[in-house]
Amino acid sequence: MEELLNNNEAVPNRIINSDDEKKNMKFKKYIIIFWSIISAFFCFIIILFLLISMGKLGYMPTFEELENPKSNLAAEVYTADNVLLGKFYIENRTNVHYRDLDTNLVNALIATEDIRFYNHSGIDIKAFLRAVSGIITGNSKGGGSTISQQLSKLLFHERPKSSLARVKQKLNEWVISVKLEKRYSKEEIIAMYLNKFDFVNNAVGIKSASKIYFDASPDSLLIEQSAMLIGMAKNPALFNPLRRPDTTLYRRNIVLRQMLKYGYITQDVYDSVKQIPIDMSNFGKQDHITGLATYFREYLRGELKNWCNSHFKSDGTPYNLYKDGLRIYTTINSKMQEYAEEAVYEHIGKDLQPAFFKHWKGYTNAPFFFEKNVKKETGKLMKQAMRRSERYKALRRAKVPDDSIRLIFNTPTEMRIFSWNGEIDTIMTPMDSIKYYKFFLQSGLMSVEPHTGYVRAYVGGINYKHFKYDHVKMGARQVGSTFKPFLYTLAMQEGESPCSKIPNIQPIIELDNGDIWEPRNSNTKKLGEEITLKYALATSNNWISGHLIKRFSPQAVIKIANKMGVKSYIDPVYSIALGSADLSLYEMVGAMNTFVNKGVYIEPIFITRIEDKNGNVIETFVPEQQEAMSEQTAYLMLELMKGVVQYGTGIRLRLTYNFENPIAGKTGTTNNQSDGWFMGIIPELTTGIWVGCEDRAAHFRTITLGQGANMALPIWALYMQKIYADSTLAFFQDDFEKPLKPITVEIDCEKYDDEIKKDKILFENEEF
């Protein structure tokens, strides 16, 4: 009975235990399901990120790409005195190291974009959850991306095409940011981010941004400047100080407030700095049509592109001028370049161009001069100019009919035109604008250091934006009397001296075809008398040049010119004695430099070395040299050309500009005063200058205004005055060095001929 009772009592207990077991089993089932879901989720996450890391769900950079992320680095062009002259780029970016960054810049970035930057490994979970919460609640309190994630986006991702693509891209960025953190230090990541970011207005990277917005370097930025640039990182198009200064100021002060919040600046500093307005007074947009040496930079672009095509990187691909961060070190001296450009502006812009406008005022066909068929020839010239214009070429490419093109060119339209006092907004027809530009006098200037061949200054024209033709390298114009030194060089080489005398009578030369060539001479002094070669060159006497070329032949003169670096074709006619040949200013300066370089022609060069982005020297440059004449001949030519300045056509240098130091020079004026030249040589510098209009038919009508002594010589004088006044350039006013061997001919022509002294006095009393 007791057992039965016990058994009966046990049944309910077993029933109760069975229910508990059911409950426990059900609970365990839920637990298993829960952890299965969690495990599955984590497995999914692991597999997902594994697939992402393997590049199966989108682009994933390789190890090599992470080690060397691709970035379009601008090529930088430096002067000989280490001034940044300009850049060639797709993106105006130059990388800097972390040590080159101002502390306030780094602090502003961390305080604003990623305050836990130094405590995470690429992903900030707290910031991520805050961002998700903000999306859900609609109350965003900041983004979830770390600086590393933002860098991965800048380095390896393009703009997504959809929201789904952005989500996928975001996951990729997480993986990339972790990989970046493993391979780079925190400091390197900060530098990479600031180097990569586009601050708009052609300011890609912090170095360009600092320079363009504030004319500063990244290590010298003020607090307010650093805060403004970091503020732009949120949205540079929105927070653009040029377009929205007030919005940018507001954003900058938010950055300052973040720096205050996290203890990077004090309350006093914050209160003070936030009152400072946005200052864009030093803004200087960098492009190829503004700044120093624009013509030189454009010439250099073509030369460097050719260089890149024939020089290869370690991977076998050619260098890219716009992407590989090359550093090009040129021979240009920034101060001398600046002085050269100023001299061109001061003479042409302030004096010669106004005189030219006044000279042609009231003339129907100004500024063109034709001896006959004036209207027909002018119309022909204008039609040719129209067809060479970019507007015409664009219309032809668009297959616009000829009658419509003529209508367009004769319809007034809004345009911005050049003037020496700044650009002018106006309304005129394209044909009128073409004629307007025909009025402007152009100029070219090049300076070479004698013993190295280094080109120290290069002015290809008056304004590259509006006149892109380069009158140093591209242009070849009639050289006039500046060619005569080639002829006189041959005479000196053949044993003549500066004091040798030739009768001042008109030579008569019978040509091979039976015609007669009789050079004309505008100089009427000393007719029939014997005059020295020094006097003849000083006064640019054409008859004496005629006698010399009759004696030596055109071919012999061309040969000596070739030895002195002239490579252009010269027609072997007797008129080259008077300068009928068309040569470039580059050729003329290089040739004249032979005299001061003791008879050795040294090719003018523009580049000393090229480095890669890491500072490794890829190539160095040395000029070609060749002996063109004896040292004595070169010195005799300097003595001859000194007479030009002492009492000849270049005497204005002494009388007007008060130069007392020894100067060898030669003026040149071509037919109808279309071209004015001056070659000026001192022991340390050879400089050539050309002045004239774009068209040879446009020129002064009188020799007084149109001669080289009036058009080109003053530029040399203004240029050299500035150089001598700058003590940092250390130019001395010494005489030319004599040859080591004794001179075997007479060079003191004043002692040799008292008439020279009289002529010197006469020239000093005349006006030039």
**Are residues 527 and 629 part of one domain?**
yes
**Average pLDDT of 34-41?**
73
The answer to whether residue 209 is domain-embedded is: yes
Nearest to 651 by CA among 577, 540, 575, 727: 540
User: What CA–CA distance (Å, rounded) separates 206 from 197?
Assistant: 7
**Are residues 668 and 540 part of one domain?**
yes
Question: How much is the CA Rg of the chain, to the nearest whole Å?
Answer: 38
**Are residues 117 and 46 part of one domain?**
no
The answer to whether residue 553 is domain-embedded is: yes
254 has a pLDDT exceeding 90: yes
**Are residues 125 and 35 part of one domain?**
no
Count of the separate structural domains present in the chain: 3
Confidence grade of residue 153 (pLDDT, cut at 50, 70, 90): confident
**Are residues 742 and 671 part of one domain?**
yes
The answer to whether residue 330 is domain-embedded is: no
The answer to whether residue 456 is domain-embedded is: no
Confidence grade of residue 768 (pLDDT, cut at 50, 70, 90): very low
Average confidence score pLDDT of the chain = 88
The answer to whether residue 214 is domain-embedded is: yes
Nearest to 596 by CA among 502, 458, 688: 688
Residue-by-residue DSSP string for 246-285: HHHHHHHHHHHHHHHHTTSS-HHHHHHHTTSPP--TT---
CATH number reported for the structural domain that contains residue 263 in this entry? 1.10.3810.10
User: What CA–CA distance (Å, rounded) separates 85 from 619?
Assistant: 20
Q: Which two tokens stand for residue 564?
A: 């002195």
CATH number reported for the structural domain that contains residue 520 in this entry? 3.40.710.10
Q: What percent of the chain has pLDDT over 90?
A: 68
**Average pLDDT of 154-164?**
64
**Are residues 255 and 114 part of one domain?**
yes
Please write the tens of the pLDDT for every residue from 51-66.
Answer: 555 555 555 555 555 5
By residue range, what is the domain housing residue 44?
2-57
Please, are residues 203 and 237 in contact by the beta-carbon 8 Å criterion? no
The answer to whether residue 301 is domain-embedded is: no
pTM for the model stands at: 0.84
**Are residues 133 and 50 part of one domain?**
no
Confidence grade of residue 79 (pLDDT, cut at 50, 70, 90): very high
Instruction: Give 338 or 158, the one with higher predicted confidence.
Output: 338
Please, are residues 333 and 449 in contact by the beta-carbon 8 Å criterion? no
**Are residues 544 and 596 part of one domain?**
yes
The CA-atom distances, in angstroms, between 289 and each of 211, 342, 419, 462, 530 are: 17, 17, 16, 12, 54
**Are residues 18 and 140 part of one domain?**
no
**Are residues 120 and 53 part of one domain?**
no
pLDDT of residue 32: 79
**Are residues 121 and 15 part of one domain?**
no
Domain end, chosen from 269, 285, 301, is at: 285
Please write the tens of the pLDDT for every residue from 568-594.
Answer: 999 999 999 999 999 999 999 999 999
Instruction: Give 431 or 4, the one with higher predicted confidence.
Output: 431
User: What CA–CA distance (Å, rounded) separates 202 from 225?
Assistant: 18
The answer to whether residue 103 is domain-embedded is: yes
Domain end, chosen from 258, 285, 312, is at: 285
The CA-atom distances, in angstroms, between 527 and each of 502, 531, 628, 742, 755 are: 11, 9, 34, 35, 14
Q: Which two tokens stand for residue 210?
A: 């600092």
**Are residues 101 and 51 part of one domain?**
no
Question: Any idea which residue has 């030189």 for tokens?
Answer: 296
Confidence grade of residue 12 (pLDDT, cut at 50, 70, 90): low
Question: Any idea which residue has 């970016």 for tokens?
Answer: 93
**Average pLDDT of 619-644?**
96
The answer to whether residue 245 is domain-embedded is: yes
pLDDT of residue 178: 81
Confidence grade of residue 49 (pLDDT, cut at 50, 70, 90): low
User: What CA–CA distance (Å, rounded) separates 441 from 711?
Assistant: 10
